[in-house]
A and B are shown apart, each in its own frame.
Chain A
Amino acid sequence: MNNSRSIKAVEWLKSSGGITVTCTILVALAVSIHKGPYVLVNTLVTGGMWALMAIGVSLLFGVMNISNFAHGEYFMIGSLTAYYIMHPLKEYLLETPNSFLAFITPVLGIAGATLAGVIAGILTDKLIFAQLRKRNREGWLLNCFLITIGLSIILINLHMLIFGNTFKGVVNYWDVPSLALGDVYVSVDRVVVFFIAMLAILFFWYLMMYTTLGKKIRAVAQDENGARMVGIPVNRVYSTTFALACGFAALAGGSLLFMFPSYPTVGIAPLYNSWFIIILVGFGNVAGAVPGGFMIALFQVVTRTYMGEGWENVIPMFLISAILIFKPYGIFETKVRSVWEQ
């Protein structure tokens, strides 16, 4: 028993996924020794959130066959909402200090952001994709791709029109001293954000695996007509899926407000990243998105540290293109590809 398990582990290590994961861990360790552990902290904080974004995109594709190029805009909605909740409260707190309110402010902001994302997701599905489902299922993949592009333009420019082209951010969430881990100081915000990401991923995993809703979503993903035949309200499941995916994106946006201040095109980098991750781990591979998120985050942090600002979009791009050519199913060799090639 124990022997066969270790053989399996060795075999996994020899596969491309195992090699990449091992290399990532080694690189992470090497870089943190060379440049200090802040690299590792940054990787962990952003990686978890990119994983959340990628899970959303992957889910939307797996269940609804929508390749969402507007996913970054839900990130933007989240960060915008969080800003407009946190900023007035922080202003108010400057005049009337209140320790409980100071503690609860970021929580309110992040929760509000998630709620806004959920509402935006439901609205998007009801107003656009439900209409398209009713009318025309032909060329669905390409139509949806173009629609999400249109949606992205609309949301970016609406932001610019209504809230202006300025950076809207907060400096920190909690005014408490940094945590000291040995001789490394890590701000509380980063630690909390990392745990939020992990909790959200756990929540998602539990939802998909052990609840009726998760079963319904998986059933619809497998076969829409079959699901409809056994009495699953398919349209409602679609709306829920959209709400879930957009809620995650907005949660990421709200949580990372202290690193990414909200402005119209703030969603572009998260969008790139979530597509990197999806290509890296293979289309439709939700579980792989978690290690993928950390890998991409590490890769970008390393590129930025060693080559300077701006290169982090160039070098990973070549790498991802190479992966796309030589390993089109991703490093974990997922075999969910039929729909992608229509």
Chain B
Amino acid sequence: MTQSTNENHTGLSGLLNKICLSPLGLLGIVFLFFLPLVPPFNQDYMIRWLISGAIVAAAAISFDFSAGYLGIVNFGYAAFLGLGGYTSAILSNTLGISPFITIFFGALMAATLGVLTGIVSLRLRGMFAICFTWFIGIALMGLCMKWDWLTRGPLGLQCTPFFESNSSLPNYYLILAIMLLTYLALGLMIKSNYGLAFRAIGQNMEAAMTSGVHPTKYRVINFTLSCFFAGLIGGFYAHYYGILTPELMHTQKTVEVLVIAYIGGRLSLWGGIVAAFPFIFAMELLRSSLSDLPGINLIIYGVFLIAIMVYYPGGVAFFFKNLTSRKIRRKEMQQASIAQ
């Protein structure tokens, strides 16, 4: 969709390229837009599956933004989701504000924690950073469990829904919009000079510093943005499901997002979207058809993760990139033979 680097397209595809899309990508979005209107996808449970797919897709995009480009795996990602969700839910419950406004407060809250984490973990790299974010996540989940005067702990916090109607369709379009917003905002960031700096820091921090890229600034910016969108998605999660428990902050949730992000491929924001919808769909189908075997879908998750890491570490995005580059190479070879 976006990551081809040497393009001077004209017309529509050039215009689309400026906002991080390609004709194929636009087609995909239109497809996703009309999918819940077409049978058999127009049944309510199917739309619910699509929504959970879109939630994971959006989360995978913002996860990959720091994990893929900067090389900092935010292993406490689910805690940022949860923080956004809880902030939004508590605000809308106590002040009676519409959830459409409070999810942005939730996102700001998560972003604030993201700034703090980014600044504090500046000296840490690699495994250190992973452990640090992980511990932050565990601590936040523990706090949520224990502060039951605020979060009602494991009993679950009621959240006001976005829409009065019983249909899930408006929710689907809302999360689709959030997903697109996440993708476009982060994609534009990656396309700009900031993206170049992120990549440079991710590949070799010393070399980046020597070339005058200040890692502090870029790491904090990256982390903040990633956490902002995590909070936004968490807010949607809270008001969509209507109930929030500390389970949302569990490492298991991070792992779900992480698996999708890596199956989609690192260093490609759109890989997460491509991987999430079919994968979540297959998982839900499997879970509903094999309900007497609990946890079988998670086993398949694990097997997929291991297989991808061992046999094809680039993921779906790498597969597509390989495909297009092979096509270009073949074309060049043909032209060369004609010239001879």
Contacts and interface: CB of A to CB of B under 8 A. Distances in A.
Given A325-B120, A341-B128, 8 more contacts: A132-B310, A147-B309, A150-B303, A165-B294, A314-B139, A324-B124, A325-B121, A340-B126
A313 B131 CA distance: 14
B309 A150 contact: yes
A138 B71 CA distance: 14
Contacts of B303: 150, 154
B255 A149 contact: yes
Nearest to B307: A150
Interface stretch (B95-103, B140-148, B162-170, B212-220): B140-148
A123 to B, nearest CB: 13
Contacts of B298: 153-154, 156-157
A157 B90 CA distance: 33
26 contacts: A132-B309, A141-B126, A142-B71, A143-B310, A143-B313, A146-B262, A147-B306, A147-B309, A149-B255, A149-B305, A150-B309, A153-B301, A154-B298, A154-B306, A157-B295, A157-B299, A161-B293, A161-B294, A313-B138, A314-B142, A320-B135, A321-B120, A328-B123, A340-B125, A340-B126, A341-B126
A83 interface: no
Interface in B88-147: 120-121, 123-128, 130-132, 134-136, 138-139, 142-143, 145-146
B126 A342 contact: yes
B134 to A, nearest CB: 8
Contact of A328 (B128, B294, B302, B311): B128
Main SS of chain B's interface residues?
helix
Contacts of B255: 149, 153
B310 A131 contact: yes
A340 B132 CA distance: 13
A4 interface: no
A310 B142 contact: yes
A157 B125 CA distance: 31
A208 to B, nearest CB: 23
Contacts of A311: 142, 146
A260 interface: no
A139 B306 contact: no
A237 interface: no
Contacts of B296: 157, 161
Interface in B302-338: 302-306, 309-311, 313
Interface residues of B, number: 43
- How many A residues touch the partner, as a band? 35 or more
A31 to B, nearest CB: 21
Contacts of B311: 135
Main SS of chain A's interface residues?
helix
B258 interface: yes
Nearest to A144: B309
B85 to A, nearest CB: 19
A283 B128 CA distance: 9
Q: Closest 5 A-B residue pairs measured CB to CB?
A: A150-B305, A157-B295, A154-B302, A314-B142, A317-B139
A161 B259 CA distance: 21
A340 B123 CA distance: 13
Interface string A155-191: 0111011000100000000000000000000000000
B58 interface: no
Nearest to B67: A142
A168 B276 CA distance: 36
B295 A146 contact: no
A279 interface: yes
Contacts of B145: 310
A154 B305 CA distance: 10
A145 interface: yes
A119 interface: no
Contacts of B128: 324, 328, 340-341
Contact of B295 (A67, A161, A272, A341): A161
A341 B262 CA distance: 20
Nearest to B259: A150
Contact of A160 (B258, B295, B309): B295
A185 to B, nearest CB: 32
A9 interface: no
B55 interface: no
A157 B123 contact: no
A67 B252 CA distance: 18
A149 B258 contact: yes
A324 B126 contact: no
A151 B138 CA distance: 20
Nearest to A324: B132
A318 interface: yes
A164 B306 CA distance: 24
Interface string B19-53: 00000000000000000000000000000000000
A96 interface: no
A209 interface: no
Contacts of A324: 124, 128, 131-132, 135
